[in-house]
Amino acid sequence: MRTRRPTFLLFTLALLLMLAGAPARAQLAVVTSAASGAHAESLSALRATLQAMLPGTRVEAFDWSELSRARLKGSRVVVSVGTLAARAVERIAPSQPVLHILLPAAAYHRLPPRPPGAGPVSAIWLDQPPIRQLRLIRLALPEWDRVAVLVSADGTPGLEAIRAESEPLGLELASARVGSHAELYPALREALSQPAVLLATPDPLIFNNYSVQNVLLAAYGHKSPVLGLSPAYVRAGALLGLYSTPAQIGTEAAVIVRDLLHGHALPPASPPSIFEVAINRAVARALEIELPPAERLTAALTEWQEGAR
């Protein structure tokens, strides 16, 4: 009987050599909005966490300006980091599952609808949910029963969400509308006409690089503590900060990517589930407010969140 084994071995060897010479396709494509700062921090955490959970996972990261359909070919999952990258990815509308991270909820909701044939899409946005913010106020400042919110024309849905969550907690909500920059400080005086905790919101008309410092100073002048959106707010004069770091969001994204690679579906778009609290002790002393350690507040808020699920 003639044997074909040598021919089979030669064919197998040739195939292996061809595969070895071909470039490996990334299982995960990460499209970034910037190569440094928060975007780089989030990408680094995503890579490290994913490699710890799934060693050998191939990740290709590149700037949004380099994005093309060919660049995504072969990737099983696409992650965008930042608003610019999210917009670039949605212009292509790839067929793979897409996870957008490190962008405000408003920016996510302004992305265009996905066309037929596009893959599923979700997000971990930057915004903290109102219930978490209000729970922190109740935990840290139990003697304060009034919350003040400034809202622009685009912020009405957010205001209604805050109102719905504040009433069950026994918190009175004072709000004032801001139609232009000139209306900002009169609105602030109106909202803080009585003692209240000023709740900063991710509304760029009201809270931006030009206004934040003055808003914080005005609130301090009214003896009103501020709950800010980031460590920068706390450094600038907010009594409290509730936020998720870029690394925490990258870590959370890695868990979702792992589940996608294992065949699970994308979860709905949502706020980050990992977060932390910061305190400005100098402001606390000036306002004569006693607060527990930030770590204790973070732990208590996390415990409440776990119990609420």
Q: Which domain holds residue 184?
A: 130-243+275-308
**Residue 1 belongs to some domain of the structure:** no
Predicted TM-score (pTM) of the model is: 0.87
Domain containing 193 — which CATH number?
A: 3.40.50.2300
What pLDDT, on the 0 to 100 scale, is given for residue 77? 98
Q: How confident is the model at residue 26 (pLDDT cuts 50, 70, 90)?
A: low
**Residue 269 belongs to some domain of the structure:** no
For the cut 60, the answer to whether the pLDDT of residue 21 exceeds it is no
With H, G, I as helix, E, B as strand and everything else as coil, classify residue 176.
Answer: strand
What pLDDT, on the 0 to 100 scale, is given for residue 209? 85
| Domain co-membership, 95 together with 225 | no
- CA distances 307 to 171, 210, 301, Å, are 21, 39, 10
| Domain co-membership, 111 together with 256 | yes
Q: How far is CA 42 from the centre of its chain?
A: 10
| Domain co-membership, 147 together with 217 | yes
Q: How confident is the model at residue 15 (pLDDT cuts 50, 70, 90)?
A: very low
| Domain co-membership, 165 together with 201 | yes
| Domain co-membership, 281 together with 257 | no
User: Mean pLDDT over all residues of the chain?
Assistant: 90
Query: Which letter, b or e, does each residue of 105-129 get, where b requires 16 or more Cβ atoms within 10 Å of its Cβ?
Result: bbbbeebeeeeeeeeebbbbbbbbb
Cα first-last separation, the chain: 69
**Residue 19 belongs to some domain of the structure:** yes
| Domain co-membership, 68 together with 202 | no
**Residue 55 belongs to some domain of the structure:** yes
Q: How far is CA 158 from the centre of its chain?
A: 16
Summarize pLDDT for 237-252 with one digit per residue, the tens.
999 999 999 999 999 9
| Domain co-membership, 20 together with 110 | yes
**Residue 117 belongs to some domain of the structure:** yes
**Residue 92 belongs to some domain of the structure:** yes
